[in-house]
A and B are shown apart, each in its own frame.
Chain A
Amino acid sequence: MNAGLSEYLVLSGLLFALGFFGVLLRKNTLVIYMCLELMLVASTLALVAFSRFNGALDGHVFVFFILTVAAAEVAVGLAIIVALFRKRQTVMVDELNHLKN
């Protein structure tokens, strides 16, 4: 059995939804961060599938840009999370709410 475009799209949509609701519902910053990456991966999967079925290469090229951007984002993001952990000794979002007055 061959996987068609719709199978890839369903998988990609599931990954995106998993990441999106993970960001909204999870409490651990690191898990939230993984969910954010999952959303980007969902897009790359869909891009590669579309690119393959459209017969154009630019979707593949875009994936490399996305990977690079995601790497930069992780480098900055983890640095912020580590710096915050040093000050507060926690990475749980419900304890990081001192900014309300």
Chain B
Amino acid sequence: MSTASLQLIEAAGRNQWLAIAPELMLALIALMLLALELILPKEQRAFIPGIAIVSQVAVLIGLIINFNSPYINAGPTFNGLLLHTAGGQFLRAFFLLASILVCVLATVSLPRQRMPHVEFYHIILVVTAGMMLLAQANHFVMLFVALETVTVGLYILVSYYRDNPLTLEAGLKYLIMGALSSGILLFGITLLYGAAGASPDADGVLHTGFEYQTLTRFLASHPNNFLASAGIVLVLSGVAFKIGAFPFQIWVPDVYQGAPTPVTAFLAVSSKAVGFAVLIPLCLEVFRPYASLVVPVLSVMAGATILFGNLAALTQNNVKRLIALSGVAHAGYLLLGVIAAFQEPQAVGAVYFYLFAYLLASFAVFGVMTQLGGADDTKQELDQYAELARERPFLGAVLAIGLGSLAGIPPLAGFMGKLLIFVSAFKAGLYPLLLIAITGVVISIYYYFGWIKAAFFPAWRLPSAEGAPAPAPRAPVHRGLGLALGLLALGSVVLGFYQGELGRWLLGL
């Protein structure tokens, strides 16, 4: 055998497959679901969603038991494609938890549609595996391929209820915007690759700009390279599309409204977190030598995102559009945390804590939305929440806790998240942005409380003596969903009072 093929065999032998065992298991479960649908008799296929949820819980437990795996901080694996860090480990657990919750919501939402069920769970699992790989990417090829796995899967999920023209319209908008952002990101990667060139190391192995470490070294030694600056701006723009930051947020309200509610939750939580999982290592490590370029770009983006999201959310009557635009504002607060992290390394932990609090609160709200949504998932108006607290006190309480946490009302988890980010921003001296962010929080309280008010206080109605049908009584809460919602609300409250190990660990990152 030639030396080249021997080298390849040796390189393949160095792959640490155990390091990505959770992702492999998710892929296997995804395939198993499809196989089960073929094998099982029709009356037993109703168990498949349950199998998907239980097996994901098992993977999550395994991941948490192995949280301090020996691969963390032990250098890159797969010949530089992946790098395992403590933050990446946290994000993997985050994506798995979000995926489980999306599956729980889907068990309520899917039976209302005449659509195949199993494929939905299959795609969610594959997309989640892609997200978990993205959280550990250390190479631009890995980044692009994993990001596209996520994005293409999400195109299908967004337009999943294809009987509904509005859902398809949302799918088309997401498709065009997603593909545009991928194209921009890819061109940025290409420019960075071209700028960095190739340099052999001591062993004669060529290193190119695809590798994060090589690119960092190049950027540090060439402070004013035009090609690299253009590449950095394009990559940041591509990622900004994913997190829905201004001026790349135009798709957010339409797509969130048209997508099935569980997918809206997936977009709002996981897809946004993916953007930050990519942004944090890129900004804070790879592009750090170009901080004088990156920080102003991100600062303008963060300020405009917070203001736009909060102001646009004020006028919305459709709750899906409202939560979409408030989600834009949340992306702005998270960006503020990323900017602060340039000077205050603790801010990264604050961003992770914020994401976790956002997950708990968002899924509580989306759970209530899924429960209350009808056959047409795109029409969810504020009026539908009238008298909710009197008729279904449990749902009302969960909604109030979720929205309160999103608004940042003490002592809920969302408040602690905002506090941690704002404190790091203060320490980093970002006073103008901090002022904008606090203004944004004040504005956001208005529309979040408008929603709570709609659910808790009797709304003034036209005297409906004749004609107007009385609203149908609301369906009782599904048992599994009720359990999940109760746990989420409890989590939001407990995490607000007591951050304990999680907070300590995150801030020590």
Contact = CB atoms under 8 A, between A and B. Distances in A.
B179 A46 contact: no
A99 B152 contact: no
Given A69-B152, A80-B155, A99-B169, A58 B210 contact: yes
Interface string B239-276: 00000000000000010011000000000000000000
Interface residues of A, number: 44
B187 A42 contact: yes
Contact of B190 (A47, A84, A100): A47
Contacts of B162: 83
B183 A56 contact: no
B134 to A, nearest CB: 14
Contact of B175 (A47, A61, A76): A76
Contact of B176 (A36, A46, A55, A62): A36
A42 B182 CA distance: 13
A83 B170 CA distance: 12
A80 B168 contact: yes
Contacts, number: 124
Given A23-B180, A76-B152, A100-B254, A88 B187 contact: no
A86 B172 CA distance: 13
Given A40-B186, A76-B155, A99-B166, A50 B172 contact: no
A83 B318 CA distance: 25
B141 interface: yes
Interface in B415-429: none
Interface in A74-101: 76-77, 80-81, 83-84, 87-88, 96-101
Q: 4 nearest interchain CB pairs? A: A39-B183, A50-B194, A56-B198, A54-B198
28 contacts: A23-B176, A36-B176, A40-B186, A43-B189, A46-B194, A47-B194, A50-B190, A55-B198, A56-B206, A62-B144, A62-B193, A65-B145, A66-B144, A69-B148, A73-B179, A76-B175, A80-B155, A80-B171, A83-B162, A83-B168, A84-B165, A84-B168, A87-B165, A96-B169, A98-B165, A99-B166, A99-B257, A100-B254
Interface of B: 141, 144-145, 148, 152, 155-156, 159, 162, 165-166, 168-173, 175-176, 179-180, 182-184, 186-187, 189-191, 193-194, 197-198, 206, 208, 210, 254, 257-258, 317-318, 378
